[in-house]
Amino acid sequence: MNISNSRRIVIKIGSALIAPDQDGCRARYLLTIAQFIVRCRSMGKEVVLVSSGSVAAGSHLFPQGAKNSSVVLKKAMAAAGQTEMMATWDRFFDFPSAQILLTHGDLRDLERYNSIRETIFALLDHGILPIINENDAVTTDDLKVGDNDNLSAMVAAAADADVLLMCSDVDGLYDKNPNLHEDAKLIQQVPEISEDIYAMAGCATSQVGTGGMKTKIEAAEKATSHGISTYIVNGFKDLTFERLLRGENPGTVFLPYDEPMHAQQHWMTHTASEQGEIVVEHDYAEELKDHAEPLAASNISQINGEFSVGDTVLVRTEKGERLAKATTNYSSCLLNFLAEQEQTSDNGQLQQNIGPVVSEQDIAILEKS
């Protein structure tokens, strides 16, 4: 899939394109990107924008700048910069745009995730451009995604996009960081994301970027496993967007999986985070290596952490091997209670009465890393 034959595109814009001088938002690169969005929409494509840059855009309002600031000040910069950034985008378009600010806390809760999906679809149905960013002003370590590469992949999956386009300050993925190694070579196509691909990725070297190439490869893995073709391209160059519109690849393309994951399995694997652990006995663990099996209370040897009904948990072996992520039908409190009652005579009956702790369709088997 390329831009010319795509139907719905998520475009992610890095901070350096929004505020190249860290002195507020600049139109220098955004104008070309905005024109590209207008062209895509006039060709009948639906576009969702994931825009970084609130911290970079707001940092000029604080004398010390972003680099050496505390987390609290960065949140304040994000809150101030976000309005400036939205106003800047809005100036380029003669159609309406809408702001959605998300945290991981929103995406990992299935009800809120579905609510986000419905909002995005309603906006697209009405010709409104959704502009999404992490809600940096309210995030905590526990709640945040932390980088907009991974956020854009989660959004692309939620929006049922067919292309994810990450616009950065480099031409694509190189075999090593091109800002540090003159002989680095551009990788044009990645058919499969392996450890070798991750090994090529270094950190961000700009003042404003978060995550560098590592988070872009993580994002590509999330998106391609959902069947989404993923591009990393250079947003500084006008030619990038001309080539994309011609259906060409001006940077690096990560090919989608031949057999994408089922949507709920994908959400559990790549978006939901585990609230606790269910340690399972050897026989069940062996069965799970082959195929998803309902998990009964009698298969459990230990419960770790606190979780509620409907939370995502990690299913693992006693030796620590990560087997699956699953949505639990029971809370850790009830499962611990059952375990404590193990010795009583009517416990077997109780365990049978409660049904599976995890149903077969709520298990996402994890690939071995």
Ligand X SMILES: Nc1ncnc2c1ncn2[C@@H]1O[C@H](COP(=O)(O)OP(=O)(O)O)[C@@H](O)[C@H]1O
Ligand Y SMILES: N[C@@H](CCC(=O)OP(=O)(O)O)C(=O)O
CB 178 to ligand X: min, Å: 5
Q: Please, which residue, 14 or 256, has the CB nearer to ligand X?
A: 14
Pick from 146, 150, 171, 155: which is nearest to 221 by CA?
150
Is 140 buried (19+), middle (13-18) or exposed (0-12) by CB count in 10 A?
A: exposed
Region from 90-98, 108-116, 206-214, 329-337 binding ligand Y, contact rule CB under 6 A: 206-214
Cβ pair 193, 255 in contact under 8 A: no
Identify the residue among 84, 147, 171, 362 touching ligand Y (CB under 6 A): 147
Q: Which does 177 bind (CB under 5 to 8 A by kind): ligand Y, ligand X, none?
A: ligand X
- Is the CB of 171 or the CB of 311 nearer to ligand Y? 171
CB atoms closer than 10 angstroms to residue 294: 16
Q: Tokens standing for 199? A: 């090994």
54 binds, among ligand Y, ligand X, none (CB under 5 to 8 A by kind): ligand Y
CB of 20 to ligand Y, least distance (A): 11
Residue of 14, 20, 178, 251 interacting with ligand Y (CB under 6 A)? 14
CB 41, CB 2: distance < 8 Å: no
Q: Which is nearer to ligand X, 150 or 265 (CB)?
A: 150
DSSP 8-state assignment for residue 211:
S
Residues 109-138 that bind ligand Y (CB under 6 A): 133-134, 136
Minimum Å gap between C-beta 235 and ligand X is 7
Closer to ligand X at the Cβ: 13 or 40?
A: 13
Ranges of H-type helices in 188-307: 195-200, 212-224, 238-245, 263-270, 282-290
Residue ranges for the binding site for substrate? 52, 136, 148
The binding site for ATP consists of 12, 168-169, 210-216
Task: Work out how close the CB of 18 gets to ligand X at its nearest, in angstroms, rounded to a whole number.
Answer: 9
Least separation in angstroms between CB 98 and ligand Y: 17
Name which of 27, 9, 7, 8 is nearest 17 in CA terms: 27
Question: How many Å apart are CA 52 and CA 101, to the nearest integer?
Answer: 11
Nearest to 2 by CA among 139, 145, 216, 164: 164
Residues 45-104 that bind ligand Y (CB under 6 A): 52-56, 78
CA pair distance 204, 212, nearest whole angstrom: 4
Please name the residues in contact with 108: beta carbons below 8 A apart, sequence gap of 6 or more: 271, 272, 273, 312
What residues are designated binding site?
A: 12, 52, 136, 148, 168-169, 210-216
User: Which does residue 136 bind out of ligand Y, ligand X, none, counting CB within 5 to 8 angstroms by kind?
Assistant: ligand Y
Q: Which is nearer to ligand Y, 78 or 326 (CB)?
A: 78
Residue (of 257, 193, 247) closest to 225 by Cα position:
257
Among ligand Y, ligand X, none, residue 178 binds (CB under 5-8 Å by kind): ligand X
- Which residues of the chain form contacts with ligand Y (CB under 6 A)? 14-15, 52-56, 78, 133-134, 136, 147-148, 208-211
